[in-house]
Chain A
Amino acid sequence: MKDFIIPWNDDRDMGTPAREGAPVTLTIDGFEVTVPEGTSVMRAAALAGIQVPKLCATDSLEAFGSCRLCVVEIEGRRGTPASCTTPVAAGMVVRTQSEQVKKIRKGVMELYISDHPLDCLTCAANGDCELQDMAGAVGLRDVRYTAPEDGMRTHFARNTSGEANPEWLPKDDSNPYFTYDPAKCIVCNRCVRACEEVQGTFALTIEGRGFESRVSAGAAGDDFLSSDCVSCGACVQACPTATLQEKSVIELGTPTRSVITTCAYCGVGCSFKAELNGDELVRMVPYKHGAANRGHSCVKGRFAWGYAQHADRILNPMIRDSIDQPWREVSWEEAIGFAAARLRGIQEKHGRKSVGVITSSRCTNEETYLVQKLARAVFRNNNTDTCARVCHSPTGYGLGQTFGTSAGTQNFDSVMHTDVAVIIGANPTDGHPVFASRLKKRLRQGAKLIVIDPRRIDLVKSTHVEAAHHLALRPGTNVAVVTAMAHVIVTEGLFDEDFIRSRCDWDEFEEYAEFVSDVRHSPEMTEMLTGVPADALRAAARLYATGGNGAIYYGLGVTEHSQGSTTVMAIANLAMLTGNIGREGVGVNPLRGQNNVQGSCDMGSFPHELPGYRHVKNADVRAIFEAAWGIEIDPEPGLRIPNMLDAAVDGQFKGLYCQGEDILQSDPDTKHVAAGLAAMECVIVHDLFLNETANYAHVFLPGSTFLEKDGTFTNAERRINRVRKVMAPRNGYADWEITQLLANAMGAGWHYTHPSQIMDEIAATTPGFAHVDYAMLEERGSVQWPCNDAAPEGSPIMHVDGFVRGKGRFIVTEYVATEERTGPRFPLLLTTGRILSQYNVGAQTRRTANTVWHTEDVLEIHPHDAEVRGITEGAWVKLASRSGETALRAHLTDRVSPGVVYTTFHHPGTQANVITTDYSDWATNCPEYKVTAVQVGLSNGPTEWQESYEAQAERSRRILPAAE
């Protein structure tokens, strides 16, 4: 396999960031160059193909002007200005090479090298070191300076004259993924600036002055691991030497080839360069032209890819007759034949509708499309669902009803034009860190922030970021809070009448305005219910309505409630009321959990709709697919995941093909999920690992990682990004091939030989994808749907001239309390979430060194609630609800309000979902993960249930040695 040569793949470092402005023409080394006003001379030269030597400059950071290597001569100006900090001017005449600047540069380099070890051949950055490159470029041939034996010392020599060198500091290898070697540091400040400007964490600083200046993480006594460092890798990326170096490069050597692909973690969908030697992955580097991430990354995408090579990966298919037996490794042919025969047998005995599929939000669009096609065209029913059921299905319903399409309205770049950001039920610094860094950058530029969340998330107050308002509502009262904001906007006359008159249905608005104006929706009336002080809510509503461009970003804290869909509609109402739709800087933006949640929904994974969100009841839509697939499609909706499990317990649903999802760990009410799975006759798990669901499986089909296949992911901004095959699948097949094998074993007769053919079929059948094909993605990098005749270039922002459904629709959003209520037995409310270093059920991240940051799920509890229960920091506590009980350690914090407790669900040992209930969103059955009435009490350790679960999991994972 060879590297892709992509025309837009120009990776050169231009030295300083791009600027927008009027064109300015100047002359550099005799060449005329025209660049936007505000551009640096260095960047202008780079754009003309002339690289001015530099060390402290890099185009992801603002110019700093400290190294003095980039000096140039400018006609009519005295001296030799630094080209990185000098902006271009019309008619300027620049000379980048002259006797004088050559001499200065050589002198600068000589000084740098006099305090740098000359171990280049054995250095991890050998061949990938800007200091080395610059020494070459300036023609440095000797270094005249040596450290005097009794005077000034170097920073790198461990031992000068027999005594320990106090200037020498040991390497800090506390971070699992990179090292900091102070001996190689040239104090260019690039790491410190990257931590501030790009990541926004401010974990690094320069300690000391002059010769004593050193890069330092955190406070005195901290190392990288104990500091605030979030291990995003921005500093490592910015470092021009081996000072900050990936441990994988130290171990494996500098990579020799690279492939551009898309991260398989969250819905931000960052572009990465996978860098390899042969088929050995050496490192993942954020791709600077990635339109979602603009060269930034987080600890998961950048470093936590080791699971792909983990020893736990299952590489051979396995089967067993019943789940109490050990697994038996078999050939692909036997496994597929076994699965196909069982599914057909079940259908013959229990009917066409007794089997179904769960498509994966971690797999590609092409793979997801094939799995739902398997249900519709081969099983001949609509029993297909996807994990969006348990996260963003209310987004689909709510935005579909109000705007006419179930997707976010903006691209991520839009946030740089936002004046007031509203974050509702989301924790971007942990869940969507690369987006959070963009948001924080905008906040540092002066944008205002409103956080609506029961918990004090990091964005409420962290370094150089402080929310104007934090509405710490009681879990389950979202609709009341958002509707009260609308009450303020309508009754105080802050709505945008022109926008509403031209873009929305005025009669519906009048009905809505009458509803929302009722005094029962006033902040003063809802305060007792929601716990949000009326004056804070009024101030927040006024700020959103009048503060300029208002953008709402929300997460699962909105959707995973019994009124999830209603809250989504309430949010859409707010945006329409204030005219915050249809241009840069505004909008309604669901932050998607998994890498391809958006795509899996687009691809028709839901049981009621075909690809492109078109209901199966519509004969014209069915006709498109019936013509393409040559079969008849069932016009009735099929079962959703919770319905499948209910039907299984009832004996009506017997067979499931589950690709890349671990419903036993991720879905609510674990005992009920287990009962449903145990009642089935054929559970096929298609995954990388023997996950928790596989404890109840009869067939295990080993999956391929995102590094091992071609395809596309669609991120939260509707951006279709290419996933490229970086190495051959270790399990033998890409996942789309495995689904095709199963389909064909059941008589399908599919003949796909490359995922591009599947995308062609998607484009031919789905209007929003009409112009999408792999050739276009090669050429452009990515595109945001809809991309068709109406929008040939794709759609960075939606609803620009009008809503997709025509007129925007205001919907009345009455607060209805969830039936899940606290009482004497269960007096606290549990809400769940995730943290930065772990991802979803943790199947991937638990198999990486990320566990150093989070080894177990803990229960956050307010000190008051802890005190009355005698709970101390780190104590084992039992967490019980009407569904079940589990035990974990307590962490006392005032991040949660009294009456509220919080935990994550990353570890199967804790199994937080044994606590959550089967209550769900009224419209979509999205589970109410965010509100469970619980009691917390001291405990001695794991519960009986946890122990029996562990034993059962252990038993069900036995694998017999392969037969000869």
Chain B
Amino acid sequence: MSPEKLTRMANQIAGFFKTQPGRDQAERVAQHLKDYWDPRMRAELKAHAKGHEGELDELVRRALPLI
């Protein structure tokens, strides 16, 4: 799938969870991706992340190792 679209969607998710109280925002981003994204989408995002870290929200970067 288009890496730009996956990146945008993941950053949108991070955009919500970063506003939430607590310290587990990265875990919650990871949980959201696991709960609602087909594994292929997660795998493609992870693959794309390598070398494109700059495109990803910091929270997504922290969440990716958890999925």
Q: Is the CB of A608 within 8 A of B36?
A: yes
Q: Is the CB of A643 within 8 A of B15?
A: no
Asked if A566 is at the interface (CB within 8 A of a chain B CB), the reply is: yes
Q: Is the CB of B38 within 8 A of A638?
A: yes
Instruction: Known A-B contacts: A812-B21, A923-B16, A925-B9. Give 9 more (CB < 8 A).
Output: A515-B21, A636-B38, A636-B39, A639-B38, A646-B1, A646-B2, A814-B19, A923-B13, A923-B32
Q: Is the CB of A511 within 8 A of B38?
A: no
Q: Is the CB of A643 within 8 A of B38?
A: yes
CA distance A649 to B4 in the complex (A): 14
Chain B, residue nearest A510 (CB): B21
CA distance A698 to B34 in the complex (A): 34
CA distance A650 to B44 in the complex (A): 12
Q: Is the CB of B5 within 8 A of A562?
A: no
Asked if A799 is at the interface (CB within 8 A of a chain B CB), the reply is: no
CA distance A617 to B37 in the complex (A): 12
CA distance A442 to B6 in the complex (A): 47
CA distance A646 to B15 in the complex (A): 22
Q: Report the minimal beta-carbon distance from B17 to chain A, rounded to whole angstroms.
A: 9
Q: Which 10 A-B pairs have the closest CB atoms?
A: A814-B19, A922-B12, A646-B1, A511-B21, A639-B38, A636-B39, A816-B15, A650-B1, A922-B16, A922-B13
Q: Is the CB of B19 within 8 A of A812?
A: yes
CA distance A652 to B41 in the complex (A): 11
CA distance A636 to B38 in the complex (A): 7
CA distance A807 to B39 in the complex (A): 32
Asked if A614 is at the interface (CB within 8 A of a chain B CB), the reply is: no
Chain A, residue nearest B42 (CB): A636
Which chain B residues border A615 with CB–CB below 8 Å? 35
Q: Is the CB of A647 within 8 A of B35?
A: no
Q: Is the CB of B35 within 8 A of A608?
A: yes
Q: Which of B21-58 contact A (CB under 8 A)?
A: 21, 32, 34-41
9 pairs, CB–CB < 8 Å, chain A vs chain B: A637-B36, A646-B1, A650-B1, A652-B40, A814-B16, A816-B15, A922-B13, A922-B15, A923-B16
Q: Report the minimal beta-carbon distance from B41 to chain A, rounded to whole angstroms.
A: 6
Chain B, residue nearest A815 (CB): B19
Q: Report the minimal beta-carbon distance from B43 to chain A, rounded to whole angstroms.
A: 11
A924 contact from B36, B38, B41, Cβ within 8 A: B36
Asked if A846 is at the interface (CB within 8 A of a chain B CB), the reply is: no
- Take A647-B1, A816-B16, A925-B9 as given contacts and tell me if A637 and B37 are in contact as well, using a CB distance cutoff of 8 Å: yes
Q: Report the minimal beta-carbon distance from B2 to chain A, rounded to whole angstroms.
A: 6
Which chain B residues border A650 with CB–CB below 8 Å? 1-2
CA distance A456 to B8 in the complex (A): 33
B35 contact from A565, A637, A814, A925, Cβ within 8 A: A637
Chain A, residue nearest B5 (CB): A646
Chain B proximity mask over A626-648: 1 for CB below 8 Å, otherwise 0: 00000000001111100100110
Chain B, residue nearest A652 (CB): B40
Chain A, residue nearest B13 (CB): A922
Q: Is the CB of A562 within 8 A of B12?
A: yes
Q: Report the minimal beta-carbon distance from A564 to chain B, rounded to whole angstroms.
A: 11
Asked if A607 is at the interface (CB within 8 A of a chain B CB), the reply is: yes
Q: Report the minimal beta-carbon distance from A82 to chain B, rounded to whole angstroms.
A: 63
- Take A643-B38, A923-B32 as given contacts and tell me if A566 and B1 are in contact as well, using a CB distance cutoff of 8 Å: no
Q: Is the CB of B41 within 8 A of A643?
A: yes
CA distance A566 to B12 in the complex (A): 12
Which chain A residues border B15 with CB–CB below 8 Å? 816, 922
Residues of A within 8 A of B (CB): 353, 383, 511, 515, 562, 565-566, 607-608, 615, 617, 636-640, 643, 646-647, 649-650, 652, 811-812, 814, 816, 819, 918, 920, 922-925
Q: Report the minimal beta-carbon distance from A645 to chain B, rounded to whole angstroms.
A: 10
Which chain B residues border A812 with CB–CB below 8 Å? 19-21
CA distance A289 to B19 in the complex (A): 48
Which chain B residues border A637 with CB–CB below 8 Å? 35-38
CA distance A640 to B39 in the complex (A): 12
CA distance A650 to B5 in the complex (A): 12
- Take A646-B5, A652-B40 as given contacts and tell me if A617 and B16 are in contact as well, using a CB distance cutoff of 8 Å: no
B40 contact from A353, A515, A566, A918, Cβ within 8 A: A353
B36 contact from A652, A814, A923, Cβ within 8 A: A923
Q: Is the CB of A566 within 8 A of B16?
A: yes
Which chain A residues border B39 with CB–CB below 8 Å? 636
Residue from A617, A639, A643, A652 whose CB has the most chain B CB atoms within 10 Å: A643
Which chain A residues border B13 with CB–CB below 8 Å? 922-923
Which chain A residues border B40 with CB–CB below 8 Å? 353, 647, 652
Which chain A residues border B9 with CB–CB below 8 Å? 920, 922, 925
CA distance A814 to B15 in the complex (A): 9
Chain B, residue nearest A511 (CB): B21
Q: Report the minimal beta-carbon distance from A892 to chain B, rounded to whole angstroms.
A: 36
CA distance A640 to B9 in the complex (A): 13
Which chain B residues border A383 with CB–CB below 8 Å? 38
Which chain B residues border A511 with CB–CB below 8 Å? 21
Q: Report the minimal beta-carbon distance from B34 to chain A, rounded to whole angstroms.
A: 8
CA distance A565 to B20 in the complex (A): 14
- Take A511-B21, A566-B16, A812-B19 as given contacts and tell me if A643 and B1 are in contact as well, using a CB distance cutoff of 8 Å: yes
Residue from A511, A562, A637, A920 whose CB has the most chain B CB atoms within 10 Å: A637
CA distance A353 to B16 in the complex (A): 30
CA distance A640 to B20 in the complex (A): 26
CA distance A925 to B34 in the complex (A): 15
CA distance A566 to B18 in the complex (A): 13
CA distance A637 to B33 in the complex (A): 10
CA distance A924 to B19 in the complex (A): 18
CA distance A918 to B6 in the complex (A): 12
Which chain B residues border A617 with CB–CB below 8 Å? 34-35
Which chain A residues border B21 with CB–CB below 8 Å? 511, 515, 812
Which chain A residues border B2 with CB–CB below 8 Å? 646, 649-650
CA distance A566 to B5 in the complex (A): 20
CA distance A900 to B25 in the complex (A): 36
CA distance A650 to B36 in the complex (A): 20
CA distance A301 to B39 in the complex (A): 43
Chain B, residue nearest A397 (CB): B36
CA distance A511 to B32 in the complex (A): 22
Which chain B residues border A638 with CB–CB below 8 Å? 38
Chain A, residue nearest B32 (CB): A923
- Take A562-B12, A816-B15 as given contacts and tell me if A918 and B35 are in contact as well, using a CB distance cutoff of 8 Å: no
CA distance A638 to B37 in the complex (A): 7
Chain A, residue nearest B2 (CB): A646
Q: Is the CB of A918 within 8 A of B5?
A: yes
CA distance A649 to B36 in the complex (A): 20
Which chain B residues border A607 with CB–CB below 8 Å? 38
Chain B, residue nearest A563 (CB): B16
Which chain B residues border A924 with CB–CB below 8 Å? 36
Which chain A residues border B32 with CB–CB below 8 Å? 923
CA distance A811 to B20 in the complex (A): 8
Residue from A636, A640, A811, A922 whose CB has the most chain B CB atoms within 10 Å: A922
Which chain A residues border B34 with CB–CB below 8 Å? 617
Which chain B residues border A925 with CB–CB below 8 Å? 9
CA distance A615 to B9 in the complex (A): 21
Residue from B12, B19, B32, B34 whose CB has the most chain A CB atoms within 10 Å: B12
Q: Report the minimal beta-carbon distance from A867 to chain B, rounded to whole angstroms.
A: 37
CA distance A200 to B47 in the complex (A): 59
Which chain A residues border B5 with CB–CB below 8 Å? 646, 918
Which chain B residues border A922 with CB–CB below 8 Å? 9, 12-13, 15-16
Residue from B16, B32, B39 whose CB has the most chain A CB atoms within 10 Å: B16
CA distance A925 to B41 in the complex (A): 13
Which chain B residues border A816 with CB–CB below 8 Å? 15-16, 19
CA distance A565 to B16 in the complex (A): 10
CA distance A649 to B9 in the complex (A): 17
Q: Report the minimal beta-carbon distance from A196 to chain B, rounded to whole angstroms.
A: 47
Q: Report the minimal beta-carbon distance from B12 to chain A, rounded to whole angstroms.
A: 4
